Amino acid sequence: MENLLFLIYAIAACGGAVGVALSQNVVRMAFWLVISLASVSGLFFMLGADFVGATQLLIYVGGTVVLLIFGVMLTTTGPYLAIKTNPAEMIQASVVGVAFLGVVLSTVTAVDWSGNRATLEHAGLVSRPGSYYQQGEGNTSRQIGTALLGVRFDQMEQGAAASDEAAHGHHHDGHTHADHAHGNHAHGAADHHHETISASPRVGSGYLLPFEIVSVHLLVVLIGASYLARAKRRVEQAA
Amino acid sequence: MLLAASSIADMLSTQTTSGWLPVFVAAVVHVALVGAFFGLPAGIFIWAERKISGRIQDRLGPTRVGGRFGWLQSLADGVKLLQKEDLIPAQADAFLFRVSPYIVVVAAFMAFMFLPFSSGLVAVAMDIGLFVALAVLSLEVLGVVLAGYSSGSKWSLFGGMREAAQMVSYEVPLGLTAVIPVVLAGSMNLTDIGNMQAGWASNWFIFHDPFSFLAFFVFFTATLASNKRAPFDLAEAESELVAGFLTEYSGFRWSLFFLAEYAAMFFVSGLATILFLGGWWTGFAPLDNWLASLASSCWQGDYIVRVIGMKVFLTKSAILVCVQIWIRWTLPRLRIDQVMTTCLKYLVPIACFLFIGVVVYPLVLLTVLGRTTLLPGTGPFAEPIGERVPVPVVRQPIETASAVVDGPAAVTTEEH
């Protein structure tokens, strides 16, 4: 079943990518891009990375709409302008493409997949087929959020008794991932009492500062771009 | 029936040794149920729209089909639409023209997979349910834009472009106000958000504080715009754009757009119900307590309580859909520049202000009053968020079921 679903998503992702390369109409390209990106998000969901999958849908697939608008409004003059590539460009592009394919293939074959699996199993991060529970699938968003703040539930330090800090809802919810009895989150502290915790998360510096730096950087780029675009228009008006 | 679907994979996996069959059967049952919830309300609300709009305009609306009240009017319309010729204009990009109605329907349908109809009655329960539901719903616009572009008509292109501009703008206040219940609940899991609002109606997030009260109305306005409902239906705007992106469509493909629109109306109403209006809880604490105790008594009780919760949820959502219909037939359509002004100059700053207000409000109250709620210190109305009536025990997978049953769902005490 999983293999079948994987096959469907993989074919859709690759077929969409090929469609982007082969179609000559901007809007059709955007459509194939949507198919490809949405299939990649489906692959993320299959891997249990629900937050990444949803982000992929929201940002990439949703962002493609904006791309589509700009593609239509800015690049084309007529409704169905075809983008034609001349043979020299085809050759250049295929050389680059084949070279990149070689890099990807050599990376895939070089990675020790079974070794990675052992590492993941050690961290308790391998999803098991029977471990579906109804109240929440994936359960990655809290861990991403707490890791952003510096609390790593995937890197447990053994021995420390952290059960006294029942006030922190995060604390408990992180532990549900570590495969204790999966209770309703709303039970919170109620479960907490009959659950012995022998490990505490590693507390580090987190990623909040880099995240903020990057987001402020993007904001600056955005404002700068809009300023440049506006300045150009003003000059045109003056002329 | 719904309960059976929720655990059907677990049940079947004890019966058979095949690995994929139980999952497959469960998936089919889920899809059939979600499909029923996707299609039936749409048909009912199309009829309701015709009746309510008729009454608002001092008409009767449909009266004959199906005996009284014209209640089979939607079915008759559907049959009529299926018989119509499936036209594709010569100017159109035929492939995209054919495909775009399906994008709209698939997006609206996928959104329903993440919508819990009662505690535990959800096709795909996710910790990021709200996030992914909004992400999927926003894909619906893609189909509208493609439909507008591929029709090969200027009216359609205008409609599609307007819809795109409107959607990109209204996503911002929609997202900002949808985050407010997330801040209050500390979870993006829609089931958790719903269950936290059990008890008196003062526990509903709309009544949590003045900021969340206003946030509900901003959210509702933004959902109207994202569903391209009047007064924000600039994508159709039949007074200026013939029928906007729908101009060239006929028959079945046209009806797919409408099915998706009414389904999305119901979806955002359900989302507003879960986020702000107490979800599947009645808002009357003794009744909620009784329901929760019934749910924890036996599994039949659990099932009955879920179905009652679903009825409550559907009732609340249907009321919100009727409000949407009422607004459509009351307010005139805005101009496109007014639509953008409403969003960018008013709703976005208001939403930002409300978001900051919701975050700061408990801290200010804690500093001034020493508690995080304005309600009097004791009594039934004073239960702060998180200190709630019992929540029904959620059926667990078979491996862990015994581990959870011995921890009875006492009063949940997730204290601040």
Q: Higher model confidence: residue A59 or residue B397?
A: A59
Q: Does residue A111 lie in a domain region?
A: no
pLDDT average, residue stretch B148-160: 81
Structurally, how many domains does chain A consist of? 3
Q: Within a 13 Å sphere around the CA of B249, how many CA atoms are in the beta-carbon half?
A: 28
Identify whether A7 is part of a domain. yes
**Whether A15 and A59 share a structural domain:** yes
ipTM: 0.73
Cross-chain residue pair A135–B394, CB shorter than 8 Å? yes
A172: closest chain B residue by CA: B414
- Who has greater pLDDT, B85 or A16? A16
Say if residue A88 is exposed, middle or buried (CB neighbours under 10 Å; 0-12, 13-18, 19+): exposed
By Cβ distance, the residue of A53, A136, A187 closest to B412 is: A187
Which domain, by its residues, includes A216? Answer: 209-239
Reduce the secondary structure of chain B to three states and give it as a string: CHHHHHCHHHHHHHHCCCCCHHHHHHHHHHHHHHHHHHHHHHHHHHHHHHHHHHHHCCCCCCCCCCCHHHCCHHHHHHHHHHHCCCCCCCCCCHHHHHHHHHHHHHHHHHHHHCCCCECCECCCCECCHHHHHHHHHCCHHHHHHHHHHHCCCHHHHHHHHHHHHHHHHHHHHHHHHHHHHHHHHCCCCHHHHHHCCCCCHHHCHHHCCHHHHHHHHHHHHHHHHHCCCCCCCCCCCHHHHCCHHHCCCCHHHHHHHHHHHHHHHHHHHHHHHHHHCCCCCCCCHHHHHHHHHHHHHCHHHHHHHHHHHHHHHHHHHHHHHHHHHHHHCCCCCCCHHHHHHHHHHHHHHHHHHHHHHHHHHHHHHHHHCCCCCCCCCCCHHHCCCCEECCCCCCCCCCCCHHHHHCCCCCCEECCC
CB contact under 8 A, B386 and A188: yes
Specify if A143 maps to a domain.
yes
Pairing label, strands B387-388, A151-158: unpaired
Task: State how many domains chain B has.
Answer: 1
Q: Comparing A15-29, A175-189, A214-228, B321-335, which segment has the lowest mean pLDDT?
A: A175-189
Query: Is the model's pLDDT at B388 over the cut of 50?
Result: no
Q: For residue A58, which residues of chain B lie inside 8 Å, CB to CB?
A: 131, 134-135, 138
Residue A33 lies in a domain: yes
Q: Do A80 and A149 sit in the same domain of this protein?
A: no
Residue of B nearest to A61 (CA): B139
In a domain, B270, yes or no: yes
A60 and A13 within one domain: yes
Chain segment B100-122, per-residue pLDDT in tens: 888 888 888 888 888 888 877 77
Exposed e or buried b per residue across A112-135, where buried means at least 16 C-beta atoms within 10 angstroms of its C-beta: eeeeeeeeeeeeeeeeeeeeebbb
- B chain contacts of residue A50, beta-carbon cutoff 8 Å: 126-128, 132
CATH number at residue A55: 1.20.120.1200
- Structural domain of B356: 89-413
Residue A229 lies in a domain: yes
Q: Is A188 on the interface with B (CB under 8 A)?
A: yes
pLDDT digits (tens, 9 = 90+) for B355-385: 999 888 878 887 887 666 666 555 444 454 4
Q: Answer yes or no: do A7 and A68 share one domain.
A: yes
Chain B contact present for A51, CB below 8 A: yes
Question: Quick one: A194 and A230 in the same domain?
Answer: no
Is residue B48 assigned to a domain?
no
List CB contacts of B143: < 8 A, sequence separation 6 or more: B100, B101, B102, B103, B104, B105, B107, B260
Provide the shortest C-alpha distance from residue B106 to chain A (in Å). 12
Condensed to tens digits (0 to 9), the pLDDT of residues A93-145 reads 889 989 999 999 998 888 777 766 676 666 665 555 444 444 445 566 767 77
Q: Is residue A91 part of a domain?
A: no
The residue-averaged pLDDT of B131-154 equals 83
Give the pLDDT band (50/70/90) at residue A236.
low
Q: How many CB pairs under 8 A join A and B?
A: 167
Please report whether residue B103 resides in a domain.
yes
My answer on whether A13 and A56 are in the same domain is: yes
C-alpha distance from B265 to closest chain A C-alpha (Å): 20
pTM of the model: 0.76
With respect to residue A185, please indicate whether it lies within any of the assigned structural domains. Answer: yes
Task: Please give the structure tokens belonging to residue A190.
Answer: 């109620």
Q: How many CB atoms lie within 10 A of CB B136?
A: 26
Are A76 and A11 in a shared domain? yes
Q: Is residue B2 part of a domain?
A: no
